[in-house]
């Protein structure tokens, strides 16, 4: 049946018309394929810390300790995979989990293996192609901006 449809389209055309039609058809197919790509694809890959901002109580956390905390946050990478699985890479060690993007919130939620969290935790907001992770701690707020690493 599909062959018959193909034949019905091209049978009334001469060779010159077919030569003009086929490149246009290829462009249309390529355009439609690019439009129908999964919006989740923009997250697939490795995300690295671009910036760490700490607004913390420095009377309880000295400069050396703060520097260490910031360095630890900078060392975390996240690998988001196509099958909704992920790895948190901390100090070179992978920690597996799962992830999901919630379009209504423009946010990524994660679940890490071995945790007792009853539901996925909000990891980061998605803004202007970056992931913004905000951590409220007893000492203050730490905001980490992640960018997707170039392949």
129: left (phi over 0), alpha (psi -120 to 50) or beta: left
What pLDDT, in 10s, does the model give residues 45-58?
999 999 999 999 88
pLDDT of residue 16: 54
| Threshold 0.85, pTM exceeds | no
pLDDT per residue as tens, the chain (151 positions): 444 544 455 556 555 555 554 454 444 444 444 444 566 889 999 999 999 999 998 888 888 999 999 999 999 999 999 989 999 999 889 999 999 999 999 999 999 876 666 789 999 999 999 999 999 989 899 999 999 998 6
Buried b / exposed e across 13-41, counting CB within 10 Å, b at 16+?
Answer: eeeeeeeeeeeeeeeeeeeeeeeeeeeee
Query: 54 - beta bridge partners?
Result: 142
């Amino acid at each position: 049946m599909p062959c018959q449809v193909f034949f019905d389209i091209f049978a009334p055309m001469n060779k010159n018309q077919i030569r003009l039609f086929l490149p246009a058809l290829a462009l249309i197919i390529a355009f439609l394929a690019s439009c129908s790509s999964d919006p989740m694809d923009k997250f697939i890959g490795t995300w690295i810390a671009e910036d760490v901002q700490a607004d913390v109580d420095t009377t309880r956390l000295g400069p050396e300790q703060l520097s260490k905390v910031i360095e630890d946050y900078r060392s975390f990478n996240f690998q988001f995979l196509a099958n909704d699985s992920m790895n948190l890479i901390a100090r070179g060690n992978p920690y597996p989990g799962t992830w999901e993007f919630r379009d209504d919130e423009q946010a990524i939620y994660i679940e890490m293996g071995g945790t007792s969290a009853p539901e996925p935790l909000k990891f980061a907001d998605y803004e202007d192609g970056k992931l913004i992770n905000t951590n409220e701690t007893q000492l203050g707020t730490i905001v980490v901006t992640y960018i997707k690493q170039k392949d």
